[in-house]
Amino acid sequence: MAAQGIDLPVVQATGGLGALGVLLLVAGFIASFFALPFRGGPEVVVPPTGPSPPAPPPAATPSRRWGGVVFLGPIPIVFGSDARMTRTMLLLGIVLFLALLALTLIVVFLAI
């Protein structure tokens, strides 16, 4: 039985911008590989050995708000911890989509 060909991913670029793009892609992979060991782990708290001082009254701790935008093709998928953050991420997704659309149209019309 004859061996079938294996398709390997290939990056091809021409010109200075293409070379810069490939260089940044490789640098990103290398940077993420070396950054993994330096992630912050859980903080170790050592209890004091003597009598503890009286605890201060609990202060109001601000809640953390978070959100994000994930592009699935040209469609933004937004999420957030509360309604305000989700709306902010939706606005950011729309702005990024319009910028992507504008840049794509500019490239298409300049290539003609």
Domains in the chain: how many in total?
Answer: 1
The token duo for 24 is 């940044």
**Which domain, by its residues, includes 84?**
66-112
Whether residue 106 is contained in a domain is answered as: yes
Residue-level pLDDT at 88: 92
- Residue 48, SS3? coil
Averaged over successive runs of 10 residues, the pLDDT of the chain (112 residues) comes to 67 82 87 72 68 70 81 84 90 90 87 68
List C-alpha distances in Å: 92 to 56, 68, 79, 95, 105.
41, 9, 12, 5, 20
Whether residue 73 is contained in a domain is answered as: yes
Q: pTM of the full predicted structure?
A: 0.44
Rounded Cα distance between 94 and 83, Å, is: 16
